């Protein structure tokens, strides 16, 4: 979401006559887009701002994104060289804010969560010429006990189905063949127009846009994840067979403390739907270890869940206390050392699962979208519909095949990627 926000910001500024440069050193205006999902990420922002100041004297600095929204004007106190602070819900105000800066205002803020949305701006300047992000829903109405997002991105607002379909068709005409639908909870999508589509209906619609060969979506919340979504994947070969469904813990007790609003049994029902789909669906997830109250038995339940689901990949983190969140009221009784121990065990456990799962692909021929060429290894890099990275060789040719689709036979596997050769 942040990467795509940056694409919108760059496009908006370029539309105002600014030009983008490659490094902060070359810039007169430095905009720093930030994430506050974990304490570590937030600390990095202030360290980086300090370094920017030392290395880039005389420039104008702006802080964007979730740290901007969360810390607001306090950023001016901690980093007095910053002139502008703007949360993601206010990016459509950026042109006016920049005018104020140019007019000599020393401090400008855009922190309202109540501004009119621009899911995609006419200027969105996408970094990748083949795969495009499309925001379908902003904000979040859930109240997960550990999460800052409802405070930094505001309540849920969906784009109309008509504008999503128009955007997808425009992208196809511009040469994009893959789109990724984005939102904190894409499956909470609710078309605000009289069409009134839910997320599964939107998937059906986007899956039929001529020229769009692959559709991905992220992120899903288990509570709103319906069987209809799997049925839509079954019906539409253009919908990729990969679902990211964050679970966070394998213990219903911990899930209750996290205010995730589903039990382990309810989560497993969704996994069963995916496992009985017509095409084999790759399943990935997020886990937090060391949430307040997590016992050794709860942690063991999470390891057992990994064995049962056999995730294709996992994003795992240690719990950290975040401002404004309900979990602040809970005692963070698990030491950093213990959280690190659990995280290391979890990641090692998952690594063994990925080695087993990826080995099953050896001998398989898979269609890959070519993402680029790695000069260091002399191999092309491609991505399967299941979101597996395949490094592959093809008969030497100077032709740049980035963005095309190729059949690749998998010859070897590792925990995080596959190796193969292009099928002639
Ligand atoms: S669903 Fe929970 S974890 Fe995800 S953005 Fe919303 S509050 Fe945060």
Which pairing describes strands 178-182 and 214-218: parallel, antiparallel, or unpaired?
A: parallel
Find, among 80, 137, 129, the residue nearest to 106 by Cα.
Answer: 80
Residue finishing a domain among 76, 110, 144: 110
CA of 142 relative to ligand 1 center, distance in Å: 6
CATH of the domain at 266: 3.80.30.20
Element (H, E) at 366: strand 365-374
User: Is residue 198 predicted with pLDDT exceeding 70?
Assistant: yes
Q: What is the pLDDT of residues 273-310, one digit of tens each?
A: 999 999 999 999 999 999 999 999 999 999 999 999 99
Q: How confident is the model at residue 119 (pLDDT cuts 50, 70, 90)?
A: confident
Looking at the structure, tell me whether residues 141 and 60 fall in a common domain: no
Q: Does the Cβ of 186 fall within 6 Å of ligand 1?
A: no
Looking at the structure, tell me whether residues 73 and 211 fall in a common domain: no
Q: Does the Cβ of 142 fall within 6 Å of ligand 1?
A: yes
Looking at the structure, tell me whether residues 101 and 139 fall in a common domain: no
Calpha distance 238→245 (Å, rounded): 20
Q: Record the pTM.
A: 0.92
Looking at the structure, tell me whether residues 75 and 149 fall in a common domain: no
- List C-alpha distances in Å: 37 to 18, 46, 153, 343: 30, 15, 11, 18
User: Is residue 117 predicted with pLDDT exceeding 70?
Assistant: no
Residue finishing a domain among 316, 335, 358: 358
Q: How confident is the model at residue 118 (pLDDT cuts 50, 70, 90)?
A: low
Residue finishing a domain among 358, 380, 405: 358
User: Is residue 245 predicted with pLDDT exceeding 80?
Assistant: yes
Looking at the structure, tell me whether residues 182 and 260 fall in a common domain: yes
User: Is residue 48 predicted with pLDDT exceeding 90?
Assistant: no
Q: Which residues form the domain of 340?
A: 131-358
197 lies in a domain?
A: yes
- List C-alpha distances in Å: 67 to 37, 71, 73, 79, 147: 9, 6, 11, 13, 13
Looking at the structure, tell me whether residues 11 and 94 fall in a common domain: yes
Q: Which atom of ligand 1 lies nearest, measured to the CA of 153?
A: 5
**Region of poorest pLDDT, from 92-101, 130-139, 162-171, 230-239:** 92-101
Looking at the structure, tell me whether residues 268 and 415 fall in a common domain: no
Give percent of the chain with pLDDT exceeding 70. 99
Which pLDDT score, from 0 to 100, does residue 44 have? 86
Looking at the structure, tell me whether residues 319 and 371 fall in a common domain: no
| Mean pLDDT, the chain, integer | 93
Which pLDDT score, from 0 to 100, does residue 115 have? 64
Looking at the structure, tell me whether residues 169 and 223 fall in a common domain: yes
SS3 351: helix
Q: Does the Cβ of 13 fall within 6 Å of ligand 1?
A: no
Calpha distance 150→356 (Å, rounded): 37
User: Is residue 122 predicted with pLDDT exceeding 90?
Assistant: no
121 lies in a domain?
A: no
Looking at the structure, tell me whether residues 167 and 309 fall in a common domain: yes
**Region of poorest pLDDT, from 106-115, 161-170, 248-257, 260-269:** 106-115
Structurally, how many domains does the chain consist of?
Answer: 3
Looking at the structure, tell me whether residues 140 and 98 fall in a common domain: no
CA of 300 relative to ligand 1 center, distance in Å: 24
Q: Does the Cβ of 292 fall within 6 Å of ligand 1?
A: no
CA of 4 relative to ligand 1 center, distance in Å: 18
Give percent of the chain with pLDDT exceeding 90. 76
User: Is residue 175 predicted with pLDDT exceeding 70?
Assistant: yes
Which pLDDT score, from 0 to 100, does residue 152 have? 87
């Amino acid at each position: 979401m942040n990467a795509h926000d940056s694409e919108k910001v760059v496009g908006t500024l370029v539309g105002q006559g600014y030009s983008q440069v490659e490094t902060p050193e070359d810039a007169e205006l430095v905009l720093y887009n930030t994430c506050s999902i974990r304490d570590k990420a937030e600390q990095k922002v202030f360290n980086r701002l300090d370094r920017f100041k030392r290395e880039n004297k005389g420039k104008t600095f702006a802080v964007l994104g979730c740290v901007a929204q969360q810390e607001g004007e306090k950023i001016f106190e901690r980093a007095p060289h910053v002139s502008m602070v703007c949360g993601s819900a206010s990016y459509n105000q950026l042109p006016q804010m920049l005018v104020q800066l140019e007019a000599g205002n020393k401090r400008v803020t855009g922190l309202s969560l109540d501004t009119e949305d621009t899911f995609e701006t006419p200027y969105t300047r996408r970094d990748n010429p083949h795969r495009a992000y499309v925001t379908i829903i902003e904000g979040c109405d859930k109240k997960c006990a550990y999460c800052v997002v409802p405070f930094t991105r505001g309540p849920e607002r969906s784009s109309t189905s008509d504008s999503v379909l128009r955007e997808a068709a425009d992208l196809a005409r511009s040469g994009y063949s893959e789109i990724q639908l984005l939102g904190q909870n894409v499956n909470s999508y609710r078309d605000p127009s009289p069409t009134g589509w839910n997320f599964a209906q939107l998937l059906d619609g986007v899956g039929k846009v001529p020229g769009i060969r692959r559709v991905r979506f992220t992120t899903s919340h288990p509570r709103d994840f319906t069987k209809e979504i799997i049925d839509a994947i079954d019906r539409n070969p253009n919908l990729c067979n990969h679902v990211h469904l964050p679970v966070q813990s394998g213990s219903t007790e911990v899930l209750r403390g996290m205010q995730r609003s589903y039990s382990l049994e309810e989560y497993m029902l969704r996994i069963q739907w995916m496992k009985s789909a017509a095409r084999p669906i790759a399943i990935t997830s997020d886990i937090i270890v060391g949430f307040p109250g997590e016992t050794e038995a709860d942690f063991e339940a999470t390891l057992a869940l990994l064995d049962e689901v056999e995730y294709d990949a996992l994003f795992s983190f240690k719990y950290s206390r975040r401002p404004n969140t309900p979990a602040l009221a809970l005692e963070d009784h698990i030491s950093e050392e213990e959280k690190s121990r659990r995280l290391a065990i979890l990641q090692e456990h998952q690594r063994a699962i990925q080695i087993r799962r990826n080995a099953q692909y050896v001998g398989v021929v898979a269609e890959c979208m070519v993402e680029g060429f790695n000069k260091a290894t002399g191999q092309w890099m491609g991505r399967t519909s299941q979101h597996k990275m395949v490094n592959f060789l093809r008969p030497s040719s100077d032709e740049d095949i980035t963005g095309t689709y190729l059949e690749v036979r998998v010859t070897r596997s590792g925990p995080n990627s596959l190796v193969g050769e292009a099928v002639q």
